[in-house]
Amino acid sequence: MHNFQAVLETIYHDAINADDKGKVATYIPELAHIDKGNLGIHLRTSDGKEYGVGDYNKPFSIQSISKVLALSKAMSLIGEDIWERIDVEPSGNPFNFLSLLEIENGIPRNPLINSGAIVIADVLISNLKNPKEDFLNYVRELTGDNTINFNKAVAHSEKVTGFKNYAAANLLKSFKNLNNPVEDVLDFYFHQCSIEMTCSQLSKAFYLFANKGKCLKNKLHITEQQVKRINALMLTCGFYDEAGEFAFEVGLPGKSGVGGGIVALLPEKFVISTWSPGLNIKGNSKLGMLALEQFTTKTKLSIF
Ligand code: GLN
Q: Which tens digits make up the pLDDT trace of 30-45?
A: 889 999 999 999 999 9
Q: Is 53 a catalytic residue?
A: no
In a domain, 239, yes or no: yes
- Mean pLDDT to the nearest integer, 234-240: 94
In a domain, 304, yes or no: no
Domain span holding position 47: 4-299
d(CA 130, CA 9): 43
Between the alpha carbon of residue 119 and those of residues 5, 38, 216, the distances in Å are 40, 33, 28
Which pLDDT score, from 0 to 100, does residue 19 have? 87
User: Is residue 180 annotated as involved in ligand binding?
Assistant: no
6 C-alpha to ligand 1 centroid (Å):
33
What is the count of structural domains for the chain? 1
Q: How confident is the model at residue 242 (pLDDT cuts 50, 70, 90)?
A: very high
In a domain, 33, yes or no: yes
Q: Is 203 a catalytic residue?
A: no
Q: Which of these is catalytic: 12, 51, 56, 189?
A: 189
Q: Which of these is catalytic: 185, 240, 255, 273?
A: 240
Q: How confident is the model at residue 96 (pLDDT cuts 50, 70, 90)?
A: confident
Q: How confident is the model at residue 190 (pLDDT cuts 50, 70, 90)?
A: very high
- Average pLDDT over the chain, rounded to whole? 95
pLDDT digits (tens, 9 = 90+) for 127-144: 999 999 999 999 999 999
pLDDT digits (tens, 9 = 90+) for 146-182: 999 999 999 999 999 999 999 999 999 999 999 999 9
Atom of ligand 1 nearest to the CA of 114: 4
Which pLDDT score, from 0 to 100, does residue 93 have? 78
Q: What is the largest CA-CA distance in the chain?
A: 55
Report the 10 Å Cβ neighbour count for 183.
11
d(CA 269, CA 46): 5
CB-based contacts of 226-234 (< 8 A; 24+ apart in sequence): 226/72, 226/75, 226/76, 227/267, 229/75, 229/88, 230/68, 230/71, 230/72, 230/75, 231/265, 231/267, 232/88, 233/68, 233/71, 233/88, 233/110, 233/111, 233/112, 234/68, 234/112, 234/209
CATH of the domain at 85: 3.40.710.10
In a domain, 275, yes or no: yes
Which pLDDT score, from 0 to 100, does residue 94 have? 76
Residues with Cβ within 8 Å of 268's Cβ and at least 6 positions away in sequence, in order, are: 46, 210, 211, 212
Give the mutation target among 96, 157, 172 for probing the ligand 1 site: most ligand atoms within 8 A of CB.
96
Q: Is 174 a catalytic residue?
A: no
Is the pLDDT at 62 greater than 60? The verdict is: yes
- Mean pLDDT to the nearest integer, 277-297: 95
In a domain, 120, yes or no: yes
User: Ligand 1 in contact with 91 (CB < 6 A)?
Assistant: no
In a domain, 207, yes or no: yes
User: Ligand 1 in contact with 114 (CB < 6 A)?
Assistant: yes
pLDDT digits (tens, 9 = 90+) for 100-134: 656 778 999 999 999 999 999 999 999 999 999 99
63 C-alpha to ligand 1 centroid (Å):
5
In a domain, 29, yes or no: yes
- Mean pLDDT to the nearest integer, 252-274: 97
In a domain, 68, yes or no: yes
Instruction: Give percent of the chain above pLDDT 90.
Output: 90
Give the mutation target among 26, 93, 95, 237 for probing the ligand 1 site: most ligand atoms within 8 A of CB.
95
